[in-house]
Each structure stands twice: as structure tokens, then as C-alpha cells.
Amino acid sequence: MSTRPSPRSSRAAKRPSPRRARRPASAQVVFEWLGRIEAEYRSAAITQETTLWLIQLGASPDLVRAGLRIVDDELVHAEMSRKVWEAAGATGVPKLDRESLGLGREHADLELDVATAIVKVFCLNETVAVPLFANLRKGATVPVARRALDRILKDEVRHRDFGWIALEWLLATPARDAVRDLTHAMLPAWLAELERSYGDELVGGTESVTDDERAWGLAPAREFAAILHRTIERDYTRRFAKLGIELGRGTQ
């Protein structure tokens, strides 16, 4: 029997330890994951408030429970994002902008505030979040970042579905006409907001990303914009049309 190591074991012997293999984290990595911690807290707060409103409207317990589960998911995302932020070298406590952690009432009819939250946060944001996070996850090889993105991506699919189910429910209540009119009127402005967050109008986004930064789960702004535009063409148009809502009607 030969005592020479097999090619496989000699490769294994040369493999650096996981600690040594970790990619260095740039200041941009620390900055982006700090933003993600804040965004996850914001998502938890907004979903908590939306779910309270659903209770006040007497929505089905199933829909309410689905909302409560999302609040917990968002807190898990915040915890996991904080682990990535710390692994990237950050210390201290993230500062939260309390003003942004909630929605607040805008309309006399609660149904319209719920419709605004459901369409903006879940139908629009959570729907585009699925391909956006899939893109970040694709290049993420640093284990702590990959674990966070695995969990976030898995959950965002359910968060997206919650939005479309809740909108369908709202369109079956006595407030259906007002909800439909509001959605038609506001969609152009809400899509313009998305464009400022992820699209060509994004200011201050990451223009170029190194291989190391991609390994930590970052991607350049131009990829976000391309994904948003694909989502508008393929996803939003089809999903709203199924509910009798035309994407461009409010601008005509």
C-alpha cells in the first residue's frame, strides 16, 4: 500500500485555515452592513405598525400572524447583520434614527394607510428585495455574510408574498375602490422613490466593488438599477395587472 498522500489530501494540507482565508473588510463593507442593521430595524418597526393596523381592521388571524412572524424575521436579520458588521471590524452600538422607525397615519381612513404600507413596503420593496439579495448572496463567500444573506433571501420571498396576499385582501373589502384609486394615483410617485433608492437616480451608491467587497456581500449600484428595471418590467407589471391595477395609469 502506498504511503504517498493522495492528491486530495495534499491539497487539503495546503489549504489555509478559515481565519487566514477571510477576505479583508474595507470601510465600505463596515458602512454598508451598518446601513443594513438600521434598515432591518426599520423593517421590523414598519411591519409591527402595519400588523397593528391589520388587527384594528379585523384582518384574518392568519394574515396578522404572518405579519408578526415577519417582525421576528426582521429582528433576526438585524442580529445577523450586526454579526457581519462586527466581523468586519466594527465596534460599538449602531445608532438608530428613531424618526424613521415607524410609519405614522396620513389618511383619515385606516384602510388607505394600510394600503400605502402594503403596496410601498411589501409589494414594491420586498418584491425587488428578492432579486437584489439574490445578487448580493451570489458573490458572498465570507461565511458570516453568506449565512446572513442565506437567511434574508429565504425570508424575503415570504415577505413579498405577504404583501401581495394582503393587497388582494384589501381589494376584496368594502374599501376596494378607494384602495384601487389610491394605488393608481400613487404608484408613479412610489416607483420614483424606488428609483431614487436603487435606480439610475441613486446618489451616493457604491460605484465600484472589489472582489473582497463582493465576498462580503456588496454589489455596485449599477447592478441594483438593472435589477430594479427588470423587476418593474417583468414582475410589478404582471402582479399588479392580475389585481386589475395598471402600473402607468396614474400618469395618464
CB of 80 to Fe ion, least distance (A): 9
CB nearer Fe ion, residue 40 or residue 213: 40
Among 219, 221, 246, 250, smallest CA distance to 232 is for: 246
List of residues contacting Fe ion (CB under 5 A): 40, 43, 74, 77, 159
Looking at the chain, list the stretches that DSSP marks H as alpha helix, in order from N- to C-terminal side: 7-14, 18-21, 27-56, 61-87, 110-117, 127-139, 143-170, 176-198, 211-215, 221-230, 237-242
* Residue 128 C-alpha from the chain's centroid: 7
Cell triple for 246: 395598471
Cα three-residue angle 140-88-127, rounded to 5 degrees: 45
> How far is it, in rounded angstroms, from Cα 111 to Cα 236?
22
Among 196, 166, 200, 198, smallest CA distance to 183 is for: 166
CB of 14 to Fe ion, least distance (A): 39
CB nearer Fe ion, residue 49 or residue 74: 74
Asked whether the beta carbons of 106 and 177 are under 8 A apart, the reply is no
CB of 74 to Fe ion, least distance (A): 5
CB of 43 to Fe ion, least distance (A): 5
CB nearer Fe ion, residue 79 or residue 233: 79
Taking the CA atoms of 251, 231, 243 and 115 in sequence, report the sign of the dihedral they define.
Answer: negative
CB of 71 to Fe ion, least distance (A): 10
> How far is it, in rounded angstroms, from Cα 218 to Cα 221?
10
CB nearer Fe ion, residue 77 or residue 184: 77
CB nearer Fe ion, residue 130 or residue 232: 130
CB of 40 to Fe ion, least distance (A): 5
CB nearer Fe ion, residue 193 or residue 212: 193
